[in-house]
């Protein structure tokens, strides 16, 4: 019989991390607290000390993933707040780096079906559920204002920029193409060329 060998705090984090891997491999339908417990080498009852059901663990995984992603982007947004052009480049690089170095986060956050969405209504972006996108959007707006982009072009330019960064992150994470050098240098060159500075 398995025994619980984790300290109280360690087990909760381990359940979240192993739960993330299991969710990405099997999806919500086959996901269970029992399976996560087995991956953590603890008794099947142990997860219930932290989560009452699988939905609660999945919500904790989501919060964990997006909180770490948000903190990573905020770090750059704050550091370069007085230089809109450099900030949008560094933010794009950080976005790509985070997803390449954490492919499980990428799959969970963007490659599984989500009930949340970012939409455009009457030429305005509508977004309430993605704080990470809000960071990207606000930095992009500051950049556009600094180079005098027409306001009516903001939304389509933000989507285009996000698509470029997200596409690079996805292709590099899943090795759609290989690059022998520093991939962040490549990302910076692409961003600078496409943002025309």
Overall average pLDDT of the 3-27 stretch: 82
Domains of the chain are 8-52 (1.10.10), 64-194 (1.10.357)
Using the predicted structure, report yes or no on whether residue 129 has a pLDDT greater than 70: no
Q: What confidence tens digit (pLDDT) does each residue in 64-103 have?
A: 999 999 999 999 999 999 999 999 999 999 999 999 999 9
In angstroms, the CA 167 to CA 176 distance is: 10
Using the predicted structure, report yes or no on whether residue 1 has a pLDDT greater than 50: no
Do 47 and 37 touch, CB atoms closer than 8 A?
A: yes
Residues 6+ apart with CB under 8 A from 88: 139, 140, 142, 143, 161, 191, 195
Using the predicted structure, report yes or no on whether residue 150 has a pLDDT greater than 50: yes
């Amino acid at each position: 019989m398995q025994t619980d060998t984790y300290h109280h705090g360690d087990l909760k984090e381990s359940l979240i991390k192993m739960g993330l891997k299991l969710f990405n491999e099997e999806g919500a339908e086959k996901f269970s607290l029992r399976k996560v417990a087995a991956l953590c080498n603890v008794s099947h009852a142990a997860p219930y000390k932290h989560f009452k059901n699988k939905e609660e663990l999945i919500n904790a995984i989501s919060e964990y993933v997006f909180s770490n992603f948000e903190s990573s982007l905020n770090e750059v947004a704050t550091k370069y707040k007085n230089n809109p052009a450099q900030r949008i480049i560094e933010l794009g690089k950080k976005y790509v780096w985070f997803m390449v170095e954490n492919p499980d986060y990428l799959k969970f956050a963007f490659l599984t079906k989500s009930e949340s969405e970012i939409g455009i209504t009457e030429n305005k972006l509508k977004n309430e559920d993605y704080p990470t996108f809000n960071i990207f959007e606000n930095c992009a707006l500051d950049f556009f204002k600094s180079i005098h982009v027409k306001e009516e072009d903001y939304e389509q330019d933000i989507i285009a920029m996000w698509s470029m960064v997200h596409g690079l992150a996805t292709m590099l994470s899943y090795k759609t193409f290989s690059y022998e050098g520093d991939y962040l240098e490549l990302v910076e060159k692409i961003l600078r060329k496409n943002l025309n500075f």
